[in-house]
Amino acid sequence: MHRFRWSVPLAGLFLAAALCFSLSPVTPADRDVTAPLVQQTRISDRLYFGRMHPEGIVSDSEWAGFLADVVTPRFPQGLTVWSASGQWRDSASRVYREPTFVLEVVHPAQSDADAALKAIVAEYKRRFAQESVLWVRDQVNVID
């Protein structure tokens, strides 16, 4: 009779421990690291926007408005922006240095990104009286 009373609580303890173990969250160490990575070919477009214009400099708030109104609606899936320092030489060989914004968008080659990027460049040039925007394109491999 004593054996029966101890075995029921002991079995309950083992059952509770097993449930706790099976309900514990998965940690990064528990994930399958042998799952294959998927590599896809994409296009990376980088636009360099000089910030100097006839009235001074494109302010951070003007840039934020441009991103919100012009860029983000054309690339809602994502983009990257950073500040840089650029320089360029004019036709008289004078070197100009200016703060710059760089915008990078990675997208499938078959997308309608070209039209969107052309519209972004045209609007920046119009809005901030720019002569040009540097556009660099690379083919890249994206690994998911």
Share of the chain above pLDDT 90, in %: 62
Amino acid at 32: D
Helix, strand or coil for residue 134? strand
Domain that holds residue 56: 39-143
Beta carbons within 8 Å of 133's beta carbon, 6+ residues apart: 47, 48, 49, 50, 121, 124, 125
Res 24 pLDDT > 60: no
Res 128 pLDDT > 90: yes
Domain for residue 139, yes or no?
yes
For residue 71, the domain's CATH number is 3.30.70.120
Residue 61 is predicted with a pLDDT of: 97
**Structural domains counted in the chain:** 1
Domain for residue 50, yes or no?
yes
Q: What's the pLDDT band for 22 if we cut at 50, 70, 90? A: very low
Looking at the DSSP assignment, which residues form a beta bridge with residue 86?
98
Q: What's the pLDDT band for 27 if we cut at 50, 70, 90? A: low
Q: What's the pLDDT band for 29 if we cut at 50, 70, 90? A: low
Res 137 pLDDT > 80: yes
Domain for residue 15, yes or no?
no
Domain for residue 26, yes or no?
no
Res 2 pLDDT > 60: no
The length of the chain, given as a count of residues: 144
Place of tokens 């914004």: 101
Residue 18 is predicted with a pLDDT of: 47
Which string of b and e fits 50-87 if b means at least 16 CB within 10 Å? bbbeeeeebeeeebeebbeebbeeebeeebeeeeeebe
Contact between residue 100 and residue 48 where contact means Cβ atoms under 8 Å apart:
yes
- The sign of the torsion formed by the CA atoms of 93, 46, 102, 38 equals negative
